[in-house]
Amino acid sequence: MPIAVVRAETFYLPPPPEPADAWADVPAALLVWRWYETRMGRRVFPPAETELTGESYYARINQNRWIADCSSCGSAAVVSPADPRYACTQCNWGWCALIFPDDVAAVEASLMGLKPALRNWWHPDDPANPDRPVPEPAPEPEPGPQLEV
């Protein structure tokens, strides 16, 4: 059975001896904060405001994980289409809306033939997509009639 593409809810798990479902009531976008706090051994707080900043990030698959990159500091975190928002644990920037493909399941299924380390996908509209087609330059206008002086 192929390994599924990893999402926040399957990546950010409580450490043993806690049961794996101990954080089941935590929304996917907040799991990174809980995990970070547990692993770093210090209190961290997501942005206090619950409203989105108005900024949007494109989610992408990097080596079999859905991730989002912070536009402020460049850090990244594993994210989930189940809770499409992101706030950075490094610089505390957020909450930003995440843009996922219209058919997440189809994108994930299209990668199943690859080894997990080779599963990479960028949204076609993401300006950072290295495979984004470059638009054809506009044709040069033909020169008009020349006036003799």
- Asked, for residue 28, whether it belongs to a domain, the answer is yes
How many domains are there within the chain? 1
- Asked, for residue 53, whether it belongs to a domain, the answer is yes
- Asked, for residue 128, whether it belongs to a domain, the answer is no
What is this structure's pTM? 0.84
- Asked, for residue 145, whether it belongs to a domain, the answer is no
- Asked, for residue 139, whether it belongs to a domain, the answer is no
Domain of residue 110, residue span: 8-117
User: From the CB of residue 114, how many other CB atoms can be counted at a distance below 10 Å?
Assistant: 12
- Which pLDDT score is estimated for 137? 82
Asked whether the beta carbons of 46 and 30 are under 8 A apart, the reply is yes
Residue 149: pLDDT band by 50, 70, 90 thresholds?
A: low
- Asked, for residue 91, whether it belongs to a domain, the answer is yes
- Asked, for residue 136, whether it belongs to a domain, the answer is no
Asked whether the beta carbons of 70 and 90 are under 8 A apart, the reply is yes
- Asked, for residue 142, whether it belongs to a domain, the answer is no
d(CA 15, CA 73): 27
What is the average pLDDT across 101-125? 96
Would you say residue 129 has pLDDT above 80?
yes
